């Protein structure tokens, strides 16, 4: 008789209380994952260190750099300007273009001098969602007369895939000193994490599908465990006199 009563009772897994517990747990799990992904950021990319050499920025020079974006979501380009002591103030302009079309994406002006200083000049862009693998370029110009000591760091031994420095339209060995910044959506962050996890793994473990499946299994096990714990606790409270 006791066995029949147990079978006739609704399953804990299909009870309204159990369904609500699972829903709350999945909501908490989803919000937690979204919060973690939202805090993640990707490092900047470029040539951060200029060597002893530098390129002079003046009204008669054209300094430029092309690069291939390694990530989606290109959101900024930054260069470092060195300024020697001078009796005059000068204006430096940084422009970022999409290559090869030459579409202007953004520009920023900076007034420098007369005191000696090292300053960062950055152009913030509306994130270019599909920037990965595409070529961009930037130019740095100044209205300073020659020999006024406004320079941009240059590394002749720097090697960056898909990057090239230019001076007065002529290609140079190495790269100028610059950094690029990226803003990724949550989906792009997930795809990047899966791609990095799959790198260097054997073929059977080197696909993103494998890690997606493993993550779903792990989340399911956690959900079932939390569900069962909550239902057990609820049943204990109900059985108390």
Angstrom distance (rounded) from CA 142 to CA 145: 8
Q: In which band, very low, low, confident or very high, does the pLDDT at 210 lie, cut at 50, 70 and 90?
A: low
Burial of 109 (0-12, 13-18, 19+ CB in 10 A): exposed
Question: What order of strands is seen across the sheet that includes strand 63-68?
Answer: 103-112, 90-98, 135-142, 63-68, 164-167, 170-172
Contact at 8 Å (CB) between 70 and 184? Answer: no
Distances (CA, A) of 230 to 13, 20, 222, 225: 11, 10, 12, 9
Range with lowest mean pLDDT among 34-43, 104-113, 220-229: 34-43
Question: Over the chain, what is the mean pLDDT?
Answer: 77
Contact at 8 Å (CB) between 11 and 164? Answer: no
Range with lowest mean pLDDT among 31-40, 166-175, 227-236: 31-40
Classify strands 45-47 and 135-142 as parallel, antiparallel or unpaired.
Answer: unpaired
- Who wins on pLDDT, 11 or 155? 155
Q: What is the pLDDT of residue 43?
A: 83
Q: What is the pLDDT of residue 4?
A: 46
Neighbours of 209 (CB within 10 A): 9
Q: Is the pLDDT of residue 128 over 80?
A: yes
Of residues 103, 111, 110, 126, the one with CA closest to residue 181: 126
Q: What is the pLDDT of residue 205?
A: 55
Q: Is 159 helix (H, G, I), strand (E, B) or coil?
A: coil
- Who wins on pLDDT, 38 or 83? 83
Domains of the chain: 45-184 (2.60.120.820)
Q: What is the pLDDT of residue 96?
A: 97
Angstrom distance (rounded) from CA 182 to CA 221: 35
Q: In which band, very low, low, confident or very high, does the pLDDT at 49 lie, cut at 50, 70 and 90?
A: confident
């Amino acid at each position: 008789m006791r066995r029949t009563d147990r079978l006739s009772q609704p399953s804990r897994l299909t009870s309204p209380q159990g369904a609500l517990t699972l829903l709350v747990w999945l909501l908490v799990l989803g919000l937690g994952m979204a919060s973690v992904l939202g805090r993640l950021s990707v490092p900047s990319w470029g040539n951060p260190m200029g060597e002893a050499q530098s390129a002079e920025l003046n009204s008669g020079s054209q300094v430029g750099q092309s690069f291939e974006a390694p990530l989606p979501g290109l959101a900024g380009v930054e260069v470092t300007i060195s300024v020697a002591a001078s009796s005059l103030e000068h204006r430096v302009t940084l422009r970022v273009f999409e290559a090869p079309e030459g579409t202007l994406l953004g520009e920023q002006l900076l007034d420098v001098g007369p005191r000696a200083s090292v300053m960062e000049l950055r152009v913030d862009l509306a994130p270019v969602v599909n920037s990965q693998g595409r070529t961009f370029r930037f130019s740095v110009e100044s209205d300073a007369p020659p020999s006024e000591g406004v320079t941009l760091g240059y590394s002749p031994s720097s090697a960056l895939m898909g990057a090239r420095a230019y001076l007065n339209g002529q290609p140079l060995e190495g790269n100028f000193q610059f950094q690029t910044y990226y803003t990724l959506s949550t989906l792009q962050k997930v795809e990047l994490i899966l791609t990095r996890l799959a790198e260097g793994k054997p073929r059977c473990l080197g696909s993103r599908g494998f890690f997606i499946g493993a993550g779903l299994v792990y989340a399911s096990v956690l959900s079932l465990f939390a569900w069962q714990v909550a239902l057990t606790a609820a049943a204990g409270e109900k059985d108390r006199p």
